[in-house]
């Protein structure tokens, strides 16, 4: 009997390499009659990115929830219960259910490519390896986000593609697959991406640097980071005033020297804009003319912000005061602004990996591998700091630079790197993962917000819908603690 799957893939468009956007049009396709030519394979590849733009993933809620978890951001409305750090309430469990489903939808689309590419008759062996590598990179990336939020999860691969009832695998098994996928991608992806917004071998090395940091494999993290640096493919975008950061985060920022990989959005295509902006901004602001819900906010008196040097251009670029009936010191995040928006979606992209991320990954790995900060580690941290003050990244500046004697202890230096990464990535949903992997999440929230965080808040619950549909899972034994 023929197996015919309903698969969401893009229309068969030939996209030029400078395109900002991977267009997708859902349609049902008989798998056995597809995935034979380069156009068909690339259409299937582009479908893996579809779930990235959904509101429940990088399009909005996923980033919002990770920002609320940090010591500097708060949630309003139905997101407000997250401020207590006692785990997710039913409303937010519903949201992460959609996140779970959409990551797995992307994984399924990746698995189909991985399974079908070896059988394709109309592609070369070189193309075959590249297509599989791109699919494996994305599968590894999606599992990396799943394991950090849920720990052990069902492991769906190309070998059990049609199976519904899959047991929960350990975090160790998930990380093993992630590393295998990323190493394959590193070895088989091209030097330059297939399209802007798709991965290259350097993207895979950057992702590996973060994966290895998470696993405390510091020598491998340093090696991956060093190779990206030595490639000289990337450089920090220069700024001289706060608004120059628009060149990195603005509506028209695309394929800059700093962009290792951004997930692409477009307000020019119906329903495919960056919805995150509507949840960042106030109901009335020139930063986003359609207005938003101000779902997340901060306070200039919060110690994280209060201690942030006002001469740092990132502070002035990132925050704006707004009266949303909370406190006179309330500020909103304007890192992602679209002053030309006419609908509640922006034209901005999500910066999955920037060169600034890579430099700070490297600084942490270099110091950790050596058991103490080194001149090399301090220099990479200072490169990011200099740019933040509008100075040339490669030129020492005694007024700005951190000295190795300022943080002679490894732990103190790593926490300084993570603080710098916090300043650098506000609004990007990355800082919470740093607090978790370093095991300083409870301590940090207690020091800044004075709250005791429940252990259960460290992980999200496996969605009830998964237990209903997957009989290989035990709702009691397999659920994360506290739920």
Secondary structure E strands in 79-233? none
Q: What is the pLDDT of residue 33?
A: 63
> Where are the chain's structural domains?
34-188
Bridge partner residues of 299 (DSSP) = 330
End-to-end, the C-alpha distance of the chain in Å comes to 42
CA distances, 416 to each of 111, 166, 352 (Å): 39, 42, 22
pLDDT tens-place string over residues 297-315 = 999 999 999 999 999 999 9
Burial (CB count within 10 angstroms: exposed 0-12, middle 13-18, buried 19+), residue 470: middle
C-alpha 198/C-alpha 264 separation (Å) is 9
C-alpha 456/C-alpha 473 separation (Å) is 20
C-alpha 94/C-alpha 91 separation (Å) is 5
The answer to whether residues 273 and 342 touch, using CB atoms and an 8 Å cutoff, is: no
The answer to whether residues 199 and 182 touch, using CB atoms and an 8 Å cutoff, is: no
Bridge partner residues of 154 (DSSP) = 168
Residue 465: in which H helix or E strand, if any? helix 464-469
Q: What is the pLDDT of residue 270?
A: 82
Q: What is the pLDDT of residue 31?
A: 56
What tens-digit pLDDT sequence spans the chain (483 residues)? 223 233 333 333 333 333 454 444 433 445 556 899 999 999 999 999 998 889 999 999 999 999 999 999 999 999 999 999 999 999 999 999 999 999 999 999 999 999 999 999 999 999 999 999 999 999 999 999 999 999 999 999 999 998 999 999 999 999 999 999 999 999 999 999 999 999 999 999 999 999 999 999 999 999 999 999 999 999 999 999 999 999 999 999 999 999 999 999 999 888 899 999 999 999 999 999 999 999 999 999 999 999 999 999 999 999 999 999 999 999 999 999 999 999 999 999 999 999 999 999 999 999 999 999 999 999 999 999 999 999 999 999 999 999 999 999 999 999 999 999 999 999 999 999 999 999 999 999 999 999 999 999 999 999 999 999 999 999 999 999 999
Q: What is the pLDDT of residue 28?
A: 42
C-alpha 354/C-alpha 209 separation (Å) is 13
- Yes or no: is domain 34-188 CATH 1.25.40.890? yes
Q: What is the pLDDT of residue 25?
A: 40
């Amino acid at each position: 009997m023929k197996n015919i799957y309903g698969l969401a893939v893009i229309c068969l468009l030939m996209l030029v390499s400078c395109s900002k956007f991977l267009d997708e049009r859902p349609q049902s396709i008989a798998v056995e009659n597809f995935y034979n030519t380069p156009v068909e394979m690339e259409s299937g590849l582009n479908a893996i990115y579809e779930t990235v733009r959904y509101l429940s993933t990088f399009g909005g809620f996923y980033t919002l929830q990770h920002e609320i978890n940090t010591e500097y951001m708060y949630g309003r409305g139905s997101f407000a219960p997250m401020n207590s750090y006692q785990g997710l309430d039913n409303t937010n469990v519903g949201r992460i259910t959609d996140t779970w489903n959409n990551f797995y939808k992307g994984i399924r689309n990746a698995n189909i490519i991985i399974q079908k590419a070896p059988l394709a008759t109309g592609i070369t062996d070189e193309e075959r390896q590249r297509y599989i590598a791109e699919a494996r990179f994305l599968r590894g990336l999606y599992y990396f986000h799943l394991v950090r939020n849920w720990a052990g999860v069902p492991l769906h691969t190309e070998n059990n593609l049609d199976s519904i009832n899959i047991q929960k695998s350990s975090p160790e098994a998930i990380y093993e697959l992630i590393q295998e996928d990323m190493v394959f991608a590193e070895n088989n992806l091209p030097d330059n991406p297939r399209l802007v917004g798709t991965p290259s071998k350097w993207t895979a090395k950057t992702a590996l640097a973060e994966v290895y940091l998470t696993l405390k494999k510091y020598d491998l993290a340093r090696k991956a980071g060093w190779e990206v640096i030595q490639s000289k493919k990337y450089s920090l975008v220069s700024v001289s005033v706060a608004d120059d950061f628009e060149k990195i985060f603005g509506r028209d920022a695309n394929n800059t020297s700093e962009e290792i990989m951004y997930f692409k959005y477009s307000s020019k295509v119906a329903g495919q804009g960056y919805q995150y902006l509507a949840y960042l901004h106030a109901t009335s602001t020139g930063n986003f003319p359609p207005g938003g819900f101000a779902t997340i906010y901060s306070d200039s008196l919060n110690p994280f912000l209060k201690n942030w040097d006002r001469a740092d251009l990132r502070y002035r670029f990132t925050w704006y005061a707004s009266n949303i009936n909370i406190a006179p010191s309330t500020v909103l995040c304007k890192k992602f602004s679209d002053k030309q928006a006419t609908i509640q979606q922006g034209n901005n992209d999500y910066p999955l990996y920037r060169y600034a991320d890579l430099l700070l990954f490297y600084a942490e790995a270099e110091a950790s591998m050596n058991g103490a900060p080194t001149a090399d580690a301090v220099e990479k941290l200072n490169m990011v700091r200099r740019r933040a003050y509008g100075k040339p990244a490669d030129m020492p500046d005694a007024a700005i630079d951190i000295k190795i004697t300022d943080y002679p202890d490894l732990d103190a230096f790593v926490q300084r790197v993570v603080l710098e990464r916090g300043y650098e990535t506000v609004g990007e949903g990355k800082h919470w993962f740093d607090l978790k992997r370093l095991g300083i999440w409870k301590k940090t929230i207690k020091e800044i917000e004075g709250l005791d965080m429940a252990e259960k808040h460290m992980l999200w619950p496996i969605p009830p819908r998964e237990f209903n549909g997957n009989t290989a899972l035990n709702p009691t034994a397999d659920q994360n603690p506290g739920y």
